[in-house]
Structure formats: C-alpha cells, structure tokens
Amino acid sequence: MTEKHVFFDELGNEIEFVVKAKFSLDEEDYVALLPANEIDAMTYILRIELDDNGDEVLVGIDDDELDEAKEAYEELVKQQLQ
C-alpha cells in the first residue's frame, strides 16, 4: 500500500502527496514526496523531525542540505533500478 499525506498550500487548497522514499543521511531522516495528481511534477525532499510529543513533522531544508539529500535520494533510486 502506498503511503500518502495531505498538505495545504498557501491558499488553503488540499494537495495529496505520495511518499516515494524514506531515507537517512548523516543521522538525519528524510522523505521524498511526489504530488499524487501530477505525473510530471517535481519530487519534494523534506527532513523528518520529532515534535515535543514524539510525532513526526516534516521540515523544509536549505539549498546545501537539499543538494546532499537529493544526491542520496538519486543514488537510492539508482540502486532500486539495478
């Protein structure tokens, strides 16, 4: 079963995302998300953190961290295709 999450854009519109992968890099956990209704959409990569209650929350990352996470995700995808 595919894991999905619903988020809201800046206008309050509901957008459903499909989790493409969860992976770790340098002791940080990340998730790669793809909008469920857009075949050619770009993949979003966010860091997974825990809130005060121990629940997972997704956090945006800066460009440097994104570059490293993107490389790790692309390597993961490449390995899955082999």
Q: In what order do the strands lie in the sheet with 4-8?
A: 4-8, 14-25, 28-35, 44-50, 56-59
Predicted confidence at residue 37, as pLDDT, reads 86
Residues 29-53 pLDDT 10s: 999 999 998 878 899 999 999 999 9
- Burial tier of 28 (Cβ tally within 10 Å: 0-12, 13-18, 19+): middle
Predicted confidence at residue 1, as pLDDT, reads 60
Predicted confidence at residue 40, as pLDDT, reads 84
Is the pLDDT higher at 34 or at 3?
34
The Cα diameter of the chain in Å comes to 41
Average pLDDT, the chain: 91
